[in-house]
Every structure is written in structure tokens, then in C-alpha cells.
Amino acid sequence: MATAMSHQSVGFSVSRRSSSSPYATISQPLRDSLSVATIGFKNHSSLSYTSRRNRNLYKTEAIASVSYHNTALSLSKNIPENSQNKSNEAALILIRHGESLWNEKNLFTGCVDVPLTEKGVGEAIEAGKRISNIPIDVIFTSSLIRAQMTAMLAMIQHRRKKVPIILHNESEQAKNWSQVFSEETKNQSVPVIPAWQLNERMYGELQGLDKQETAERYGKEQVHEWRRSYDIPPPKGESLEMCAERAVAYFEDNIEPKLAAGKNVMIAAHGNSLRSIIMYLDKLTCQEVISLELSTGIPLLYIFKEGKFMKRGSPVGPTEAGVYAYTKRLAQYRQKLEENSEVICS
């Protein structure tokens, strides 16, 4: 396996997807991540990830944009193409959730919904401090509690002191009952949109098993293949390729339009769903992505401008002024926060 790739480099620019990518026809779209079969897929390791699915075949079930100008915090469909301004600049923050209870116990977790450990809570808080001066307009998380806890704990460290509010779209009643009717309150809130498409990859019959015991039972090579290959799923589970089908499709349809409209986005998700998105952003090959390692609770910053994603590494901390001078816009945002803080203190 290739040497693990570091994701701390600065200034790397990648173009947006191409709809004519050969990846669009690799496999049938993944309809339901919780009912997948053990299927092998052909590995095209020489190709980079640009667009993985045919738009006419695959339609995500998730909701796209958020409007604060309606009567309540509510969801609507994708931002129309004609409303997107390519001159807009936006920040994209990616955070892998903090340590979970099953991470601590060395168990395969996958889509099992377990919370953070005390250490994981601390990692989420520290992540929030690192991004406390970067603007955030909307947050996307998986439907799993460990990612949602990370998003909430990180956001409450932000210097704007906006309140993260989870939007419920599971039923009309849920939407109606969770409405906010104060414009002032809505302006002091940040919508949090859960999406199952951003869930961790489903580990099938390995979920809940001890990783060391599983290696002793099936053999280290077999378990390593299930965990680190691109296109070989564990029994009745997902491969990384299958996880990427849903995660990248959701990103393209729901998150990228927001960035194109100038909205600053934070995504709190999981190792494999984020690796899938980074594969798309950085145009990594199948072989490159399997050696990509993401630490828990360490935010990664991208700048989206003129249809391109520019990788900026990981913010060091709120006291590192240089981190926020990646662009003039971020520097101005930080300066405004400082000025507002001085007014409050005086």
C-alpha cells in the first residue's frame, strides 16, 4: 500500500467535476446504503474521481438549500443554476467526528449510532476553536449522533455565537412543529442539515465485532482487504466505492450549489464519507484515496472560488492570524470579529 497521504498541504487547486467522466458509468447507483449486497466492482486505479453517477439514473432523496427569508427555518430544493455566481468565494470546512465509544473499544462501527467518548467531546471542542474565526452559514452532518455531536460542539465555540439548529424534514408535522417565527432569532441561527448519504460506510456483518478478534478469525489480509480496498465490500456491507456513490452524489447535488452561491459550509461526517468527498475535490485516484488518513476532530479547510476548490490544509488555532489570511475575504471577516469583540468588551 502507498504511504499514507498527508492532507496538510496549502495552495493546491482543483477544477470542478466533468459530467463526461468515465466514472459516471462504473456501476449501478447505490439506492439504499443499508441494504447492499456483497458485490465486487472493477477497479480503475488510473482514473481520478470527478463524477461518479449518471444524473438521469440517480436522484438523491436529500433536501438542498435553506432559506432564512421564509416564515420559518425551512428546506427547499437545489439552488437554481441561474442564481449561482461564479465570482463568489466560499469556505468549505470538513471535520471527521471525534472519537466514539466504539472507536475506544476497537469495534467496527459503520452505521451503528453510538455517541462520542469524553475524548471525542474534547476533540470536537478543539476543532471548533480552530475554526472559530471562519464564517459558517450552513452545516451538513450525517444522520449519526457522533457526527451531529461534533458539529454542535464545534459550532458553539464560534465567535459569532450563532445557535446551530437541526432541521427536521422527516415529515410535514416535524417541519411544522420545529418552525422558528422570529426573524431576529433566525438571523442568530445556523441550520444543521442531517443526511444519511453522509453516513459512515456500512460494514455489514462486521458491525459490532472486535477488530482484533475479526482479524484472528478471518485472517489479517482478508480484514485488511475489507477495510482498505476501494471496491471490495465486507460481507453484506459497502465498499468505499459504494460509499462514494452516495456521498459524492449528495455533495454535488446539495452542497456544491450552496458553495457556488457564496454560502460557507461545514461538513461533519465520517472517515470514509469524507475520504470520498476529498477524492472528488482533489481528483485522487482509487489507489491514492485508500492510503488517505483523516484524524478525528481535525478540520480541513478548502476555498471554493470560480468553480475551483483550493485546499488550504488545517487551521492551527484561533490565535493564528495567518491561517485566516488565505484570502482577503477571510481576513476581513476575522478583522470584523475582532472589532465587534472590542466593542462588546468596552
109 is in an annotated binding site: yes
293 is in an annotated binding site: no
Question: Phi then psi for 89, rounded to 5 degrees?
Answer: -115, 140
Angle at 25 between CA 22 and CA 29, to 5 degrees: 140
228 is in an annotated binding site: yes
- Sheet containing strand 189-194, edge to edge, reads 12-15, 308-311, 300-305, 89-96, 265-269, 138-141, 189-194, 163-166
Characterize the bridge pairing of strands 89-96 and 265-269.
parallel
54 is in an annotated binding site: no
Q: Which residue has the cell 467522466?
A: 21
241 is in an annotated binding site: no
297 is in an annotated binding site: no
245 is in an annotated binding site: no
272 is in an annotated binding site: yes
Q: Which of 7, 97, 158, 270 is catalytic?
A: 97
Are 183 and 17 in contact, with CB atoms under 8 Å apart?
Answer: no
Q: Which of 123, 158, 200, 256 is catalytic?
A: 200
53 is in an annotated binding site: no
245 an active-site residue? no
Helix (H, G, I), strand (E, B) or coil at 331: helix
> 47: alpha, beta or left, given left = phi > 0 and alpha = psi -120 to 50?
beta
97 an active-site residue? yes
99 is in an annotated binding site: yes
96 is in an annotated binding site: yes
CA distance 263 to 266: 10
Annotated binding-site residue numbers for substrate: 96-103, 109-110, 146, 200-203, 211, 227-228, 271-272
Q: Tell me which residues are annotated as active site.
A: 97, 200
Annotated binding-site residue numbers: 96-103, 109-110, 146, 200-203, 211, 227-228, 271-272
